Amino acid sequence: MENTTLKPAPRTPLLLEVSYKRSYARETSLGIIKNISISGAFLEIDASKMRADEKLNIIFSVAGRERKVAGHIVWTNSHGCGVKFSHHNNRDIQIVDDLIYYVENERSESRSVMDSIFKKVG
């Protein structure tokens, strides 16, 4: 029998304040995305009132663009919850991919600046 265990997608650490809305709620709440991949994210919130399989929309704002990405809660703990994205179209995937690219690009630019400083000092 074949091993069909799925490995989680690689996560990119970040700190990004987002809004989210439970599928049946009228108002939005705030949370912090602590890590993200194309398939999901860790959302730091008070998850004591959240449950697995609950649907929600996360509202990202990246480079002046705002996009709602649907998802559902996979698990919760005292720090927040794991969210699996339910991409409905390529724009949903693109906004998450753009966010990951932006975060990773910023880190590599920061590393380049630090490397040049250390070369001058060393």
**Cα three-residue angle 34-55-84, rounded to 5 degrees:** 45
Name the helix (H) or strand (E) containing 113.
helix 90-121
pLDDT at position 6, please? 63
In the chain (122 residues long), the average pLDDT of successive 10-residue segments reads 61 91 89 93 91 92 80 94 88 81 70 50 50
Give the per-residue pLDDT at 93: 80
Q: Is the Cβ–Cβ distance between 49 and 68 less than 8 Å?
A: no
Beta bridge partners of 121: none
pLDDT at residue 113, as a whole number: 46
Core vs surface per residue 110-122: b (16+ CB within 10 A) or e: eeeeeeeeeeeee
Rounded Cα distance, 82 and 44, in Å: 9
Q: Which residues contact 55 (CB under 8 A, 6 or more apart)?
A: 22, 23, 70, 71, 72, 86
Q: What is the CATH architecture assignment of 12-121?
A: Beta Barrel (2.40)
The residues spanned by each domain of the chain are: 12-121
